[in-house]
């Protein structure tokens, strides 16, 4: 059916292996031979069968990427950056959606699908470090997004605490004293929510503002949950003059609910988020937020994973680079 190396070899009057050598840029080939082979390839429309190459070489040149759902803007934007970074290094990306369910995450770590990839980029949401380590196979694994932190695992870190503190400090500098937080429980310590909450508390403490657990509203990190949480907060009668959504969609949900209820943003209530998704720039009012260094995260993670894949030396020490963050001050909290 398809054209194989054998056909090319016959057409060019050389051995199959020579065709292979030409394709793989083997050094010692007479220019004339090389040209003959290339012409034959062109003429027959030969294309390398990547499946066969993978089988023989044991490499697929594909990276797995496990995330909750592409319909979540932050993940979509991150995935886009990851794919570009991988592509630039000659790798493709096979995305798998976990739907934020432990079973799916585990399946993605162990599943057959791993045999199609040389390594895995993983944004864990439901599994903890122990589970990840026990479920993971032998293939290289790099974590993103630091819901999980563990010294045994390679990962690219976001400066959750520092960046959340920066947002809070910015709100405080704007004169806000009652800053509601959406997306965390009062007791949270670990994970992005815990770390961001800790940053918030640290910033309050540094400014000498008292921490009030009543201002901390737990909810899922979704737009509608952010809106709901804001509604509950308004209804509860708790006073506040700012809302800090632990991610942008939460903040945008809050923004929407506040405007629906006729509250003025930012005059009455300031709103800030975390992630700097594309949409935040174009919200009305545009959203003040902090950019966690998405492109840098993508590039570092891809680089680290590929380094693991291509290095023979498995004994490399664990790496956990940190991405730089940057405040984006906009209308919702000037």
Which residues bind to a copy of itself, rule: CB under 8 A? 1, 47-52, 54-55, 58, 60, 62, 69-71, 73, 76-77, 79-81, 83-84, 87, 92-97, 112-116, 223-224, 227, 252-253, 255-256, 259-260, 278-279, 281-286
**Shortest CB 75 distance to a copy of itself, Å:** 8
Burial class from Cβ neighbours inside 10 Å (0-12, 13-18, 19+) for residue 45 reads exposed
Cis peptide before 268 (omega within 30 of 0): no
* Residue 205 site contact among a copy of itself, DNA, none (CB < 5 to 8 Å, cut-off depends on kind): none
Distance of CA 30 to the CA centre of its chain: 47
Q: Are 98 and 152 in contact (CB under 8 A)?
A: no
Interface with DNA (CB under 7 A), residue from 35, 39, 43, 52: 52
**Shortest CB 8 distance to DNA, Å:** 8
Distance CA 195, CA 105 (A): 22
Closest CA relative to residue 19, chosen from 1, 32, 3, 34: 34
Please tell me whether residue 245 adopts helix, strand or coil conformation: strand
Interface with DNA (CB under 7 A), residue from 38, 44, 53, 263: 53
User: Which two structure tokens, joined as six digits, stand for 286?
Assistant: 């545009």
Using CB under 7 A as the binding rule, whether residue 58 contacts DNA is answered as: yes
Q: Are 9 and 20 in contact (CB under 8 A)?
A: no
* Residue 6 site contact among DNA, a copy of itself, none (CB < 5 to 8 Å, cut-off depends on kind): DNA
Distance of CA 170 to the CA centre of its chain: 25
* Residue 278 site contact among DNA, a copy of itself, none (CB < 5 to 8 Å, cut-off depends on kind): a copy of itself
Using CB under 7 A as the binding rule, whether residue 35 contacts DNA is answered as: no
Using CB under 7 A as the binding rule, whether residue 4 contacts DNA is answered as: yes
Closest CA relative to residue 181, chosen from 208, 162, 200, 165: 200
DSSP notation for 291-302: E--HHHHHHHHH
Q: How many chain residues bind DNA (CB under 7 A)?
A: 32
Using CB under 7 A as the binding rule, whether residue 48 contacts DNA is answered as: yes
* Residue 24 site contact among DNA, a copy of itself, none (CB < 5 to 8 Å, cut-off depends on kind): DNA
Distance CA 122, CA 105 (A): 9
Interface with DNA (CB under 7 A), residue from 25, 57, 71, 317: 57
Using CB under 7 A as the binding rule, whether residue 49 contacts DNA is answered as: yes
**Residue ranges in contact with DNA by CB under 7 A:** 1-2, 4-6, 13-18, 20-21, 23-24, 27-30, 32-34, 46-49, 52-53, 55-58
């Amino acid at each position: 059916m398809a054209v194989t190396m054998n056909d090319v070899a016959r057409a060019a009057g050389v051995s199959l292996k020579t065709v292979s050598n030409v394709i793989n840029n083997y050094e010692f080939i007479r220019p004339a031979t090389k040209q003959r082979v290339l012409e034959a390839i062109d003429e027959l429309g030969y294309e390398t069968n990547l499946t066969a190459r993978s089988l023989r070489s044991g490499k697929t040149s594909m990276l797995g990427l496990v995330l909750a759902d592409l319909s979540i803007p932050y993940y979509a934007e991150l995935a886009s950056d990851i794919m570009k970074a991988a592509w630039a290094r000659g790798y493709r990306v096979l995305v798998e959606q976990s739907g934020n369910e432990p079973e799916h995450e585990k399946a993605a770590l162990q599943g057959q699908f791993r045999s199609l990839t040389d390594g895995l980029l993983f944004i864990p949401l439901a599994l903890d470090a122990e589970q990840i380590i026990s479920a993971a196979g032998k293939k290289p694994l790099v974590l993103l997004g630091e819901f999980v932190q563990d010294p045994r695992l390679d990962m690219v870190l976001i400066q959750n605490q520092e960046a959340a503190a920066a947002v809070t400090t910015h709100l405080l500098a704007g004169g806000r004293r009652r800053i509601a937080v959406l997306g965390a429980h009062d007791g949270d310590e670990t994970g992005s929510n815990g770390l961001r909450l800790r940053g918030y508390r640290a910033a309050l403490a540094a400014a000498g503002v008292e921490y009030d657990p009543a201002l901390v509203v737990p909810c899922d990190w979704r737009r509608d949950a952010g809106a709901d949480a804001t509604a509950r907060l308004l209804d509860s009668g708790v006073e506040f003059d700012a809302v800090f959504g632990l991610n942008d969609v939460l903040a945008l949900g809050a923004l929407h609910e506040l405007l629906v209820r006729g509250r003025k943003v930012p005059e009455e209530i300031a709103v800030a988020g975390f992630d700097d998704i594309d949409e935040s720039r174009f919200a009305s009012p545009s959203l003040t937020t902090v950019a966690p260094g998405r492109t840098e995260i993508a590039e570092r993670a891809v680089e680290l994973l590929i380094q693991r894949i291509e290095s023979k030396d498995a004994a490399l020490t664990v790496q956990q680079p940190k991405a730089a963050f940057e405040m984006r001050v906009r209308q919702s909290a000037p």
